[in-house]
Structure 1
Amino acid sequence: MLSSRKITFLQAYPTRSIPLAQLQSYLPYTWLSAVDETDLQKGTYTVITLDEDSPEYKEIKEQVLLNNSHFKKICRIDQVENPYLFLMYLLKRHENYLEFFCKEERCFHGTATTNVDSIMNNNLNWRFFGRRVGHIHGKGVYFSKKAAFASQYAKYCNNIGCLLVAKVLVASVAQGDSQTILPAQNYDTTGSGDDILVKYGDNEFYPEFVVYF
């Protein structure tokens, strides 16, 4: 006689825990803070102000100042080290690569200094961003491959502007408009080429650095 006992999906396919050392190996080698199990919880992050002589500082500075008349000088560059957000981003990158053969782009996003803590904690939220440009290309998070373009949308506080430097997953870009809430089928992004890229999915971007100017 067959047993009528029900087996749940999790019982049939239990989740496998990943050792801390393995998770740590997925994090960028340029991160300076030590990571333990508590750091892998959502909402835990560390900010490292880069030394002006470091390779990371020089690289970001060069990219930000390229053809950028909005910058008079850089006050500082912070490196965002959020293990939870970064690992979620890596999972999404793997998923999107299998589905779209996506590329990883370095993009920029102008914002206000008052938004930085929330972004470092929870990432950019497509449900709330894009309002300052009127959702012209879609109701998502707006990025640009050009720092000069993105810095126009930085909101100044006490004469300090703020520009995020982010890893962004991009496969195919479709035309969007103010009513677009998702890209067309077989597309993952809307926008207008290098100037504007609009993202709609959670964890499809990771804020690497914050540039104050």
Structure 2
Amino acid sequence: VKVKQACSVKFQGPKSIPDHWDPSALPDPGFKKITLSSSSDEYQKVWNLFNRTLPFYFVQKIERVQNLALWEVYQWQKGQMQKRNGGKVVDERQLFHGTSANFVDAICQQNFDWRVCGLHGTSYGKGSSFARD
């Protein structure tokens, strides 16, 4: 008796992306920068955080980086932290990083890497530095 099993795989899209991401702008591999509308909640949230400590600066635009590979790594790492924390929710924060325009695409593609951090990247020692707000 010969038995033949059929197996079908149905593409269901990315495992899990944030609700506010544009699913049509998920290059694989790579990233896409989405310019946010100044009237959107997402724009206002980021603008308010930035404006708290730098109120006299003019924000020209705010872009969301959509990089599915980095998002999945982030989610995995977050899961690992939750496991080490006894399953408790991990405290996430919005952080800001200043850099030269020359390095933006490399960061969006590959994430932060202190080994290629530019002119002032090791001012505070080895690593990437961020500001809370």
TM-score range for the pair, normalised by the shorter chain length: 0.7 to 0.9
Residue 91 (structure 1) aligned with residue 91 (structure 2): no
Q: What is the SS of the residue equivalent to 2:95?
A: strand
1:103 Cα deviation from its structure 2 partner:
2.3
- Residue 60 of structure 1 aligns with an amino acid whose one-letter code is V
Aligned to 2:129: 142
Q: What is the SS of the residue equivalent to 2:108?
A: helix
TM-score, structure 2 length as denominator?
A: 0.77
Structure 1 residues not aligned, in runs of 5+: 1-17, 147-213
- Residue 104 of structure 1 aligns with an amino acid whose one-letter code is E
Q: What is the SS of the residue equivalent to 2:120?
A: helix
Q: What is the SS of the residue equivalent to 1:47?
A: strand
1:134 Cα deviation from its structure 2 partner:
4.1
Residue 110 (structure 1) aligned with residue 98 (structure 2): yes
1:129 Cα deviation from its structure 2 partner:
3.0
Aligned to 1:68: 54
Distance in 2 (alpha carbons) for counterparts of 1:70 and 1:33: 35
- Aligned-residue sequence identity (percent) comes to 24
Distance in 1 (alpha carbons) for counterparts of 2:113 and 2:69: 16
**Contact (CA 8 Å) 1:50, 1:56: kept in 2 or not?**
yes
Aligned to 1:53: 39
Distance in 2 (alpha carbons) for counterparts of 1:34 and 1:86: 16
1:40 Cα deviation from its structure 2 partner:
3.9
Question: Cα distance 1:99–1:134, how it changes in 2: closer, same or farther (>3 A)?
Answer: same
Equivalent positions of 1:126-137 (< 5 A) are: 126-129=114-117, 132=120, 134-136=122-124
Determine which structure has the larger strand proportion and give its number: 1
**Equivalent residue pairs, number:** 122
Q: Which of residues 80, 85, 94 in structure 1 aligns to 2:65?
A: 80
Q: CA RMSD in A?
A: 2.5
**Contact (CA 8 Å) 1:48, 1:80: kept in 2 or not?**
yes
Q: Which of residues 11, 16, 21 in structure 2 aligns to 1:26?
A: 16
Distance in 2 (alpha carbons) for counterparts of 1:85 and 1:133: 21
**Contact (CA 8 Å) 1:47, 1:80: kept in 2 or not?**
yes
**Contact (CA 8 Å) 1:130, 1:139: kept in 2 or not?**
no
Aligned to 2:6: none
TM-score, structure 1 length as denominator?
A: 0.50
**Contact (CA 8 Å) 2:25, 2:32: kept in 1 or not?**
no
**Contact (CA 8 Å) 1:51, 1:57: kept in 2 or not?**
yes
Structure 1 outlier segments of 4+, above 4 Å: none
1:140 Cα deviation from its structure 2 partner:
0.8
Q: What is the SS of the residue equivalent to 1:76?
A: coil
Structure 2 residues not aligned, in runs of 5+: 1-8
Per-residue deviation, residues 13-35 of structure 1 (Å, max 9, x unmatched): xxxxx9752x6251011012426
